[in-house]
Every structure is written in structure tokens, then in C-alpha cells.
Amino acid sequence: MVIDHWSLVIDYLPMTNDQRPMTNALLRNLDNAHVWHPFCQMREFVADDVPIIASAEGFELIDTDGRRYLDGVSSLWCNVHGHRVPEIDRAIREQLDQVAHSTLLGLSNVPSIQLAAELVRRAPRGLTKVFYSDDGATAVEVALKLAYQFHRQKPRPEPRDLFVGIASAYHGDTVGTVSLGNIDAFHRSYERLLFPTLRVPCPTVATMAESLNELERTLRENADRIAAFVIEPLVQAAAGILVHPPGYLRRVRELTRQHGILLIADEVAVGFGRTGTLFACEQEEVVPDFLCLSKGITGGYLPLAATLTTDEVYDAFLGEPASGRTFFHGHTYTGNPLGCAAALASLELFETNRVLDNVAECSRLLARRLDEIRDWPHVGEIRQKGILVGIELLADKASRQPFAPEQRIGHQVTLAARRRGLFTRSLGEVVTIVPAPAMPPELVSRVCELLFESIQEVGANQKVR
């Protein structure tokens, strides 16, 4: 497609008071000409006539044509309380009357101090220090660098330079987090940029003993070189909502502690209520050495991330300025006051609106609704933890024959859902339901209805029913 970029810019520029209004057609052309969307093949994106979101209300997104879409994946798993939440809106406006941003490099600000204290109060006991960054990948990147440097600055230094992750892991898109990742479609292009890591099998109920044996062997044989083990507690989200068996996380903590290996809990996707508790680690009474948070931290309003750690890690970085023990890492918008104000308001809403009680009710509702489709011939494994749901689509259930990759069944289901007024995303041939933790049960049920109808439509077109 040939685009006359300059003529589009001329069309857009306001030249008189009678300037051309920003029509849908002009917005679409400008988007196609200039915006490179993440995780999208742009040739397909341009052809798909993707909605342009202009506003939102409650748990719905509204496009420039006025069409409404139920937000079935909580704006990529970050929205918590819905859109245009009065309490969060007010907190941000009040902070705007004070200061929108000032650096944490050599200064501090009120909301970042308050938020750190509130996070520590709610986190597993022993996580007492908070390092801010901007998103989930940077929260994990901070933990990787801290772990690496910590071992070199302990009272008895150890040059540990290996990290361990789980097969099918996804921890973000920085070079460090991609090195830990193991999703071929996302990571194969960057193989020669990455540092070596060790990987252990993703556990299932059927393979739990074998997975633990491999984990124990890997840690035992490489104990003197492993700096940290990195895990999404309970659920590997971007891998297709892969749910770990009960007890796996606790055993990981026991083994890492036994070998002096730090444990990094990546709760970017699974934190803030989505598994049923505020933090997933709580369910197995695990205290990691690092807790990485983002996505839902601001209720889905603004970019913000936090890496929580222990006094032991923090103390290893103390010394005279000339000692070289400083953690030389930081971002321009670290601890942004607007983001921290939104996060404080969101945390308060968890309590005043009893959000975790709502999650429990919606989890039970989802389990009942998902039972309705378990016997469908094109529906394979259904995985659920809390309000995180992945529905595997198969060409033939009996033989577990997958659809051909070029059929892109998951994507077809998302398009069918969009036509019905539901926004969702697929992870390959796994379609997801990830409602906001505060979404009312009746809307969660409506998400299920629209998605189930979409699966039926696409399945019938593929002659698999």
C-alpha cells in the first residue's frame, strides 16, 4: 500500500478556525500511515479495520463510531476497577494540582513514599524495599540486575551468572527478560542477542513429580552459578494460561533457599487479585526475594512498576560513594507522582469495594460457565485460575489435532467476538477471558456468552462441529 504521508499531515494540520474535522477516515489513514502497533503484523492490522477507541465507560470501550465493546481482557490484563473510575480520576486531578512529575534521582515525592509504604504493608512479610520503574519488563529487569550484583557484593562474594526460568515463559521484551523467555514466536528473532539461561519443564498435574526431579537436578548441578530462579507464581499467563499444580511454587521456594538461590516472583500479570488473592504468592505462603509488579498497580490507568525486595538485598548495596556498590539503574519517570497517586487510589478501592470478594464470586461463575463448553469437539483443555482463563481450540478433540497455523483460529474468534461487541485477545490458538477484578458477575457472564457464540461461529465455519 502506497501512502502519501505528507498529504495526510497537511490534511491534519490546523490551518484555520474552519479546519477539517478529525473524521474517522482521516484518523484511520493517519493511524495506518504512522502508528506501528505492538505484537501486530501491520499488513493484517491495516486490512482488519481495527476499531479506534475514543472513550470508555465502566467496563466498556467506545470507538469513534459509537460502538461499545465489553473489555474482556481488561485492556491487556491491567484494568482493575473499570474505566473512568471517579475515585482514581479524582486522585490524579488532585495530584495534577500539586506536581505531575519530578525525578527520584536525588529527590523524592510524596505519592511515591506513600505508595511504597502501602505496597510493603500488603506484600508478603519481609519485602521491605521498593524500587520503581515503568512497566512489567523493567520490573523484572531490575530484579535480574539486582540479583546479579547482590551475589558479588555479599559479605562472601560469589560470581553467580546464570538464571533459571520455566519452559514457555514470558517475562517481557527487554533483552534481559527475553533471555529468560521461551516462546519461540516472540523470541527466536533475537537469539544471538541473548545471554544463556537454564530452563526447567513447565509442570502439570500429570508431570509434577518428573518436573520437580528435573528442577532439583538443575539447581543441584548448577547451584554455585545460579543467581536467581524466575517464575510467574501459579500461572504462566502469556504462555496460554498454564496453571501450575498446587505445591509447585512452595517447593521451588524450598529448593532455592536450600541452594542460596534468589527467587524472583514475576507477578506482573498474576498480581492484584487475578488469581484470587492480592498477590499469587500468598496462596502458598511463599515470600520471594523479589516481587515484580506492574499492569494492575495503577488500576490500569498509567504506566508504573515496582520491584520489592528484602533488607538483605538492600544492605548489600550500602557503602561509601566510592565503593562502587550503588545500584546504577533508573528511569526518567521512576516513581511518577501521577502514577503513584492512581495506585494509592486503586489500592484503597480494593478494600472499600471488596474487590477480592468479587473475584471469588466471578471465579466460581466462570467455572460454571466453562463447564458448558467442555464437551464441544473443537474445545480442548480449559485452564482457569481465579479470573484468568485460557480456552484451547483444536481441529479434533479426540485426537488432539491442532488447527493448521494458517487458519489462525484464535484470531478468527477474536474478530467474531469483536463483531458481537466483545474485545478479547488470543494467545495463538488459546482464546482468553481475563475480566477486570471488579467487573460485576453479570458482565463476566455476558463475556462468556459472547465468546462462546464466537467459538461456535468459527468452529461451524471450519466444519469441526
pLDDT tens, 275-327? 999 999 999 999 999 999 999 999 999 999 999 999 999 999 999 999 999 99
- 270 pLDDT more than 60: yes
- 465 pLDDT more than 50: no
| Ramachandran angles phi, psi of 70, nearest 5° | -60, 130
Check if the beta carbon of residue 68 is closer than 8 Å to that of residue 60: yes
Give the confidence band of 20 by pLDDT, cuts at 50, 70, 90.
low
The grid coordinates of residue 173 equal: 521484551
Compute the distance between CA of residue 241 and CA of residue 244 in angstroms, rounded to an integer. 10
- 30 pLDDT more than 80: yes
- Average of per-residue pLDDT values in the chain: 93
In this predicted structure, what is the pLDDT of residue 9? Answer: 57
Give the CA distances from residue 365 to residues 362, 381, 430, in Å, rounded to whole numbers and listed in that order. 5, 18, 20
Mean pLDDT across the stretch 232-260?
97
Identify the bridge partners of residue 357 per DSSP, sorted by sequence position.
none
**Domain at 37-84+355-461: CATH architecture:** Alpha-Beta Complex (3.90)
Mean pLDDT across the stretch 155-170?
95
- 65 pLDDT more than 60: yes
Give the confidence band of 131 by pLDDT, cuts at 50, 70, 90.
very high
In this predicted structure, what is the pLDDT of residue 75? Answer: 96
Percent of the chain scored above 90 by pLDDT?
86
In this predicted structure, what is the pLDDT of residue 464? Answer: 41
Give the CA distances from residue 242 to residues 102, 170, 236, 313, in Å, rounded to whole numbers and listed in that order. 40, 12, 5, 31
Give the confidence band of 243 by pLDDT, cuts at 50, 70, 90.
very high
153 SS3 class: helix
379 SS3 class: strand
Q: Considering only residues 393 and 40, tell me which one the structure prediction assigns the higher pLDDT.
A: 393
- 362 pLDDT more than 90: yes
CB proximity list for 72: less than 8 A, separation 6 or greater: 417, 422, 423, 424, 433, 434, 435, 447, 450, 451
Distance of CA 197 to the CA centre of its chain: 22
Place of cell 562502587: 324
- 231 pLDDT more than 70: yes
Distance of CA 331 to the CA centre of its chain: 20
Query: What end-to-end distance do the CA atoms of the chain give, in Å?
Result: 38
Domain spans of the chain? Answer: 37-84+355-461, 87-352
Give the confidence band of 11 by pLDDT, cuts at 50, 70, 90.
low
Domain 87-352 has CATH 3.40.50.720: no
Orientation of helix 248-258 relative to helix 208-221, angle to 10°: 20
DSSP 200-227: EPPP-TTTHHHHHHHHHHHHHHTTTTEE
In this predicted structure, what is the pLDDT of residue 16? Answer: 45
Place of cell 498509567: 302
Lowest mean pLDDT among 43-52, 210-219, 223-232, 362-371: 43-52
Q: Which of 31, 93, 15, 317 has its CA nearest to residue 23?
A: 31
In this predicted structure, what is the pLDDT of residue 239? Answer: 94
